[in-house]
Structure 1
């Protein structure tokens, strides 16, 4: 009937989000910079870690080009320390860095190979990554995404397939027991404009997510004149509340989920 959809929703309304799968134990989160996970996914990581799931962080850079007032070598040192502290705040103990160059990450075989190697070593069932689309929104005039995010997001999607193929990046195999890994079941993209799934965030996980972003104090201070805690709270709370209407009114972190 005109004006309604089969689900009972009004035509044109955004669809409800499905629940993120929970039948997994290990996840690998692959992003470009320190703070990428803290701007969206960290509260979900805190929720999962509290349930006993194992999450590892893999960062393509150390964020050395991210603070205008700080020389790159010092910024890399500061931002690595901030990232390790922010990971600990949500229950993540393993944080690895690939040392690609911040701001000029090259999408290609070198990056794909590094990510595939990490997937083979950590053997995750779920892989998390950052928005790989050209923009942050779906509509005309939406802000452009950065080259680093696009490169890492797309390379991660490709590397999942690479990791399971023994005839790709063969030089990695046999070193320290590394073998092909085709056990990734989903890739979840955070900060996408095409989200499909979500995880509800409780009060404790929300608190940890906020604390995680707050660990990036040097970066936030260089980014805005706003009070760091007020800024972080707006980011974390606003992001979770944005999807409430599409997830039963519950605060949530949302992802675009790709089955593998």
Structure 2
């Protein structure tokens, strides 16, 4: 599932490609991927100019010239491709937005969606989300105050979008490996130094993920050398050697989520 670094990468790259561009045509391949009748979606979105693209947590918000928004959540397996028809991947497309001869393809939206909403409806969608962990006001003190109220396992807490926005299954493992803390530790068992390490690991790993283009397998466009450059330390590396201590990485299930960590240097 794309997380904060992947969606931030999409936001940056798409901003350069389609900001200020008019949507010349719309095609819907799967009605369940949108939230209004197909005819209404096409009528309201066609000929609209994209004013800005922003990100909140794991969402992208395409703001249209009339004030309405397209809210994207890729969920599990969703991705995008931008290019000409002849460059299009050989995959089923759920939604296609055209910009003249170039098209933005939304692929793999079996659980994901592209919803047409008012700006107020978007705000309602975000009401329960926790803070953006890379914003300037997300200080160490703010993080400590949030964590003082939590008692559950670290893994579960980090991926809870109502606690912290944007961290998912993969980067939670990466963050905890970097902080040298086991994912099954309880939040209220951590000492001050461990909380400080955890805060700085959140900043380091997510910024590294953004800088390296996240971990998505699929390029956004032909010749895209930015997307997918991030290499995991522990996630999805069961049985491989930890790069810090050479112990084999193990996989366990925590709250029904596959979780990867080093049993030696995370404690």
| TM-score using structure 2 length | 0.25
Q: Which has the larger radius of gyration?
A: 2
More strand, by proportion: 2
Greater relative contact order (CA < 8 Å, ≥ 6 in sequence): 1
More helix, by proportion: 1
